Chains A and B, each alone.
Chain A
Amino acid sequence: MSSINRHAKHITATVVGNKRIGQYHQILLSVGDIVQSTHPGNFVAISVGGENSAMILRRAFAISRISHRSDKGDGTMELIVAPHGSGSRWLCAQPEGASLDVIAPLGTAFGIPTAPAQALLVGGGYGSAPLFGLAEVLKSRGCRVDMILGASTASKIYAPIEGKRSVNSLKIYTEDGSAGISGKVTDPIPGLIQEGVVDVIYSCGPMAMLAAISRIANAAEVVHQCAVEESMACGIGVCMTCVLPVENSEGETKMLRSCIEGPVMDGANVQWELVGKVAK
Chain B
Amino acid sequence: MSELDFSTTLGPAWFPTPVFTASGCASSGKELSQFFPLNAIGAVVTKSIMLKARPGRPTPRMAETPSGMLNSIGLQGPGIDAFLANDIPWLLEQNARVIVSIAGENVEEYSVLARRLRSVGGISAIEVNISCPNVENRGLVFACDPNASRAVVDGVRRTLGGDIPIIVKLSPDVTDITEIARGVVDAGADALSLINTVLGMVINVDTMRPHLAGKTGGLSGPAIRPIAVRNIYQVHQSLPKTPILGMGGVRSGRDALELILAGASGISVGTATFSNPVTIINVQKELRELLAAKGFASLRDAVGFAHRNE
Expressed in whole angstroms, the minimum distance between the Cβ of B59 and any Cβ of chain A is 6
Expressed in whole angstroms, the minimum distance between the Cβ of B279 and any Cβ of chain A is 11
A278 at the interface (CB under 8 A from B): yes
- Alpha-carbon distance A230/B27, docked complex (angstroms): 19
CB–CB A243/B271 < 8 A? no
A254 at the interface (CB under 8 A from B): yes
B186 at the interface (CB under 8 A from A): no
- Alpha-carbon distance A237/B61, docked complex (angstroms): 14
B67 at the interface (CB under 8 A from A): yes
A7 to chain B: closest residue by CB = B34
CB–CB A56/B67 < 8 A? yes
Within 8 A of A (CB), among B33-65: 33-35, 47, 55-62, 64
> Given contacts A238-B274, A243-B76, are A231 and B62 in contact (CB under 8 A)?
yes
CB–CB B76/A55 < 8 A? no
CB–CB B76/A231 < 8 A? no
CB–CB B57/A279 < 8 A? yes
Within 8 A of B (CB), among A241-280: 241-245, 253-255, 260, 274-280
B31 at the interface (CB under 8 A from A): yes
Q: Give the chain A neighbours of B31 by CB distance below 8 A.
A: 2, 4-5, 236-238, 260
CB–CB A1/B34 < 8 A? yes
| Chain A positions 91 through 103: 1 when the CB is less than 8 Å from some CB of chain B, otherwise 0 | 0000000000101
Contact of B64 among A55, A230, A279 (CB under 8 A): A55
CB–CB A278/B58 < 8 A? yes
Count contacts on B: residues with CB < 8 A to the other chain.
39
Expressed in whole angstroms, the minimum distance between the Cβ of A52 and any Cβ of chain B is 10
Q: Give the chain B neighbours of A243 by CB distance below 8 A.
A: 56, 59, 61, 76
B292 at the interface (CB under 8 A from A): no
Contact of B55 among A2, A5, A47, A255 (CB under 8 A): A255
B178 at the interface (CB under 8 A from A): no
Tell me the total A-B contact number using a CB cutoff of 8 A.
120
Q: Give the chain B neighbours of A4 by CB distance below 8 A.
A: 30-31, 33-34
- Alpha-carbon distance A25/B47, docked complex (angstroms): 38
Q: Give the chain A neighbours of B71 by CB distance below 8 A.
A: 233, 239, 241
- Alpha-carbon distance A66/B33, docked complex (angstroms): 27
B73 at the interface (CB under 8 A from A): yes
A8 at the interface (CB under 8 A from B): yes
> Given contacts A55-B64, A56-B68, A240-B27, are A280 and B33 in contact (CB under 8 A)?
no
Within 8 A of B (CB), among A172-223: none
Q: Give the chain A neighbours of B64 by CB distance below 8 A.
A: 55-57, 233
Interface centre among B59, B60, B61, B90 (most CB of A within 10 A): B59
Can you report 21 A-B residue pairs in the complex whose CB atoms are below 8 A from each other?
A2-B33, A4-B33, A5-B35, A10-B277, A55-B64, A57-B69, A58-B274, A101-B276, A232-B62, A233-B71, A236-B32, A238-B25, A238-B26, A238-B27, A239-B62, A240-B27, A240-B47, A244-B59, A253-B55, A275-B59, A276-B59
